[in-house]
């Protein structure tokens, strides 16, 4: 950590924050948000709306706006957030997360103290490291940014706009490849020369396993290979081999690990196999 890449202080900030929450269908009716907090607003992005409306107590709040979309796919939902957000900083969240506004404000201080910071990642409270290198402030790069997911990612909106960056609609839930949208976005930002930091700040909690934690489904393994090709190009075969080695216990038996390393979609684990 350099002298410039240090933990944010407790000084007040003057950067507003918009939290973009993507939801779909009847899930809108179960939406729950933290109490209103100064300097923070929410945009609720609804795809494939159902018959269940947004809870009245949330829809009536002045810090909440609800937008009905005619698109499909998580990345397209998040791209709409750039168009409707009003905050200087933008956070992406899903509809089943417990959010921590105090954590968002701690991340925002890092942007206030470093005008060159383009994006930052906090941690879900269930994954926050207590010690070690990952538990300190550090720069994000291609080989440590794969863990970033909602609601950990915060971006400086005008910097992202100036770089012409958006989420790739081919990746994420509801797209051709059902994962990897945050990693593709972050690495696109790095390729554009933007600075990103990881900070030991808890910003929320996710009650269930995320799609990125699943290493058994063939469609998600295919999506991982597509993600690596999208990010690393000609270097993807080498990186795929490194991935196979690093995540061999999650992938399963050696047969599946070798298939992934060679660029083949591993079969679904057989009954009784360890995963």
Residue 112 scores a pLDDT above 80: yes
Q: Are strands 195-205 and 17-24 parallel, antiparallel or unpaired?
A: unpaired
Distance between CA atoms of residues 92 and 157, nearest Å? 12
Q: What is the pLDDT of residues 189-216, one digit of tens each?
A: 999 999 999 999 999 988 777 788 889 9
The average confidence (pLDDT) of the chain is 92
CA 131/CA 261 separation, integer angstroms: 31
- pLDDT higher for 229 or 134? 229
Residue percentage of the chain with pLDDT more than 70: 93
Domain 17-211 classification at class level = alpha beta
What is the tens place of the pLDDT at every residue in 31-84? 999 999 999 999 999 999 989 899 999 999 999 999 999 999 999 999 999 999
Range in 68-72, 125-129, 229-233, 244-248 with the lowest mean pLDDT: 125-129
Greater confidence (52 vs 182) lies with: 182
In the chain, domain spans = 17-211, 214-261
Query: At 3, is the pLDDT very low, low, confident or very high (cuts 50, 70, 90)?
Result: very low
Residue 275: is its pLDDT beyond 70? no
The string of pLDDT tens digits covering residues 10-31 is: 555 789 999 999 999 999 999 9
214: CB partners within 8 A, 6+ apart: 220
Asked if 25 contacts 48 with a C-beta cutoff of 8 angstroms, the reply is yes
CA–CA separation, 50 and 52 (whole Å): 6
Burial of 87 (0-12, 13-18, 19+ CB in 10 A): buried
- Could you tell me how many residues make up the chain? 275
| Confidence at residue 137, expressed as pLDDT on a 0 to 100 scale | 94
d(CA 116, CA 11): 18
Q: What pLDDT is stored for residue 244 in this prediction?
A: 95
2 pLDDT band, cuts 50/70/90, is very low
Rounded distance, CA 42 to CA 55, Å?
14
Cβ atoms of 165 and 189 within 8 Å: the answer is yes
Sign, CA dihedral 186-190-196-197, equals positive
Which of the two residues, 274 and 63, has the higher pLDDT score? Answer: 63
Question: pLDDT class for 271, splitting at 50, 70, 90?
Answer: low
Q: What is the pLDDT of residue 267?
A: 79
pLDDT at 252 over 70: yes
Residue 217: exposed, middle, or buried by beta-carbon count in 10 A (0-12, 13-18, 19+)?
middle
Query: For residue 63, what pLDDT is reported?
Result: 98
pLDDT of 47: 97
Percent of the chain topping pLDDT 90: 81
Give the Cα separation of 48 and 130 in Å (integer).
Answer: 40
Q: What pLDDT shows up at residue 201?
A: 95
Residue 106 confidence (pLDDT): 95
For residue 250, give the H/E element and its range.
helix 248-251
């Amino acid at each position: 950590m350099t002298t410039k890449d240090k933990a944010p202080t407790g000084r007040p900030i003057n950067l507003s924050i918009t939290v973009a929450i993507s939801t779909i269908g009847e899930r809108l009716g179960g939406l729950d948000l933290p109490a209103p907090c100064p300097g923070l607003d929410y945009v609720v992005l609804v795809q494939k709306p159902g018959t269940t409306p947004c809870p009245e107590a949330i829809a009536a709040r002045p810090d909440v706006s609800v937008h009905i979309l005619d698109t499909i796919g998580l990345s397209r939902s998040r791209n709409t957030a750039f168009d409707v957000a009003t905050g200087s900083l933008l956070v992406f969240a899903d509809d089943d997360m417990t959010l921590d506004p105090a954590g968002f404000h701690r991340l925002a201080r890092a942007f206030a103290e470093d005008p060159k910071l383009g994006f930052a990642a906090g941690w879900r409270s269930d994954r926050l490291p207590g010690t070690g290198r990952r538990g300190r402030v550090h720069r994000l790069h291609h080989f440590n940014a794969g863990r970033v997911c909602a609601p950990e990612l915060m971006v400086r909106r005008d910097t992202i706009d100036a770089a012409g960056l958006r989420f790739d609609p081919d990746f994420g839930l509801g797209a051709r490849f059902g994962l990897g949208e945050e990693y593709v976005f972050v690495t696109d930002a790095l390729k554009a020369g933007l600075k990103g930091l990881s900070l030991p700040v808890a910003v929320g909690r996710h009650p269930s396993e995320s799609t990125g934690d699943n290493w058994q489904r063939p469609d998600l393994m295919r999506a991982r290979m597509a993600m690596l090709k999208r990010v690393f190009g000609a270097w993807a075969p080498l990186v795929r081999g490194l991935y196979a080695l690093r995540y061999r216990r999650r992938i399963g038996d050696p047969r599946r690990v070798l298939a992934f390393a060679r660029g083949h979609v591993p079969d679904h684990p057989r009954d009784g196999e360890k995963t």
